[in-house]
Amino acid sequence: MNKLIFRKFSQDIINFFLVASFSITFIVWIIQAVNFLDLISDDGHSLKVYFTYVSLNLPKIFSKTIIFVYFISIYYVINKYNNSNELIVFWNNGIRKIKFINFILLFSILFLVLQLIFNLFIVPKSQDIGRAYIKASNIDFLPKLISEKKFINVVKNLTIFVEEYEKDGTLKKIYINEQMNNENSKIIVSESGKIIKKKQKYILRLFNGGITNISKNNTYTLNFSETDYDLSNFTTKTITATKVQELESIEMFKCLKEIYLKKKINKNEVIDNPKNTACHTRTVKSISEELYKRFVIPFYTLIISLVAASLIIEPRSKYFSKLHKLNIFLIGILVITISQLSLKFFLNSINITYLILFLPFFLVFLYYFVLLLFTKFKLNFL
């Protein structure tokens, strides 16, 4: 009988968690997708590239909402059971309150593992795939970005100006400025032209114009009646360098090992010429903070589950019932806030670093001990 009771209880938590997490993730994803519209408007990517890239951000959004949604799920279900007197079923079947709390704590380990899987493996991989996809994509939305009497500079080292853009796609009085390096540049002026797609690449076919090559030592001009200007040689302005958030967790642990072997104590020190190329140009601070976010912060899931479970310890007076529920909710939000703010103080000093590393585990034992006292001696909060 007890197994059936706990099974229903866990199913209610999971059902609410799935609905709430998908809803919140989708809302945040929509807001973030709007912020990424500059991939089209400013960087010249296609709608396919845009939707693929923003979709690969879904695991990251979901992983960031797990701890909050899980707390809300336990809080809501226990509060619902309490209001409908369903908790009495637990106590009438001989289930002690500490056993109920133990079940929630053990059940929370599943969500802890889920968050660790997302943080350590799924999120970095999806972010890396998204960055690689952007890096490999062509600037295939560029033709639609070109407009009359407007300088277009959506790709690196290239500026295009068109005086007229006719309905049939013909461009009139074209000006192109290509910056090849710090000392060399190229200016192309053409009477007309047209953008054509050839072998999945965009080419600007120019008619009747001249190419002026400018270098530090000399300048010379070549005239042409027709020439093709390959737009596929240029890359987007979107940042394509791999960020620390996109590195594999195993590689980051190797970086951390190499940091301590080299005894790099300065948190802002850059790792030069490492054995592991993934560590190159990374700072000790960036590697350590990212590993802390991925591996340590998820353990706050255990403490917020205990905070929500403390709803079963009722106050002496019913007048304090609403205040008690509000206090539990605020404590949960405070713990979640601390989990995020702890990153700001990480690596400030050796003592603070150790304190922050062991804080979630200390809070779990401390809060569990408090709940144990309240349940064993049948104490009340108020």
Q: What counts of helices (H) and strands (E) characterise the chain?
A: 13, 5
The closest alpha carbon to 66, from 113, 31, 12, 133, belongs to 113
Domain ranges of the chain: 2-136+242-376, 143-233
Q: What are the angstrom distances between the C-alpha of 247 and each of 115, 135, 291?
A: 17, 16, 10
Residue type, 251: E
Instruction: Tokens for 299, please give them.
Output: 């353990």
Chain centroid to CA 171? 41
d(CA 210, CA 175): 10
Query: Is residue 173 a contact partner of residue 180, using CB atoms and an 8 Å limit?
Result: no
* Phi, psi for 146 (deg, rounded to 5): -75, 125
The closest alpha carbon to 64, from 299, 306, 298, belongs to 298
Chain centroid to CA 61? 6
Residue type, 171: L
- Predicted pLDDT of residue 357: 93
d(CA 16, CA 22): 10
- Burial status of residue 229 (CB atoms within 10 A of its CB: 0-12, 13-18, 19 or more): buried
Whole-number CA gyration radius for the chain: 29
d(CA 275, CA 326): 53
- Predicted pLDDT of residue 15: 96
Torsion of CA 366, 368, 372, 375, to 10 degrees: 120
The closest alpha carbon to 185, from 215, 223, 159, 229, belongs to 215
d(CA 170, CA 188): 17
d(CA 144, CA 46): 10
Residue 84 three-state SS: coil
Instruction: Tokens for 347, please give them.
Output: 């690596």
d(CA 297, CA 343): 9
Residue type, 347: L
160 HSE (CA, 13 A, CB side): 26
The closest alpha carbon to 308, from 300, 316, 319, 298, belongs to 300
pLDDT in tens, the chain (382 residues): 788 999 999 999 999 999 999 999 999 999 988 888 776 655 566 677 788 888 999 999 999 999 999 999 999 999 999 989 899 889 888 899 999 999 999 999 999 999 999 999 999 999 888 877 776 665 555 665 677 787 877 667 788 889 888 877 788 999 998 888 878 889 999 999 988 877 767 788 899 999 998 887 788 888 999 998 887 666 555 555 577 888 888 888 888 777 776 655 556 666 665 556 667 677 788 888 899 999 999 999 999 999 999 999 877 666 677 788 999 999 999 999 999 999 888 877 888 888 999 999 999 999 999 998 888 766 555 4
d(CA 148, CA 160): 10
- Burial status of residue 199 (CB atoms within 10 A of its CB: 0-12, 13-18, 19 or more): exposed
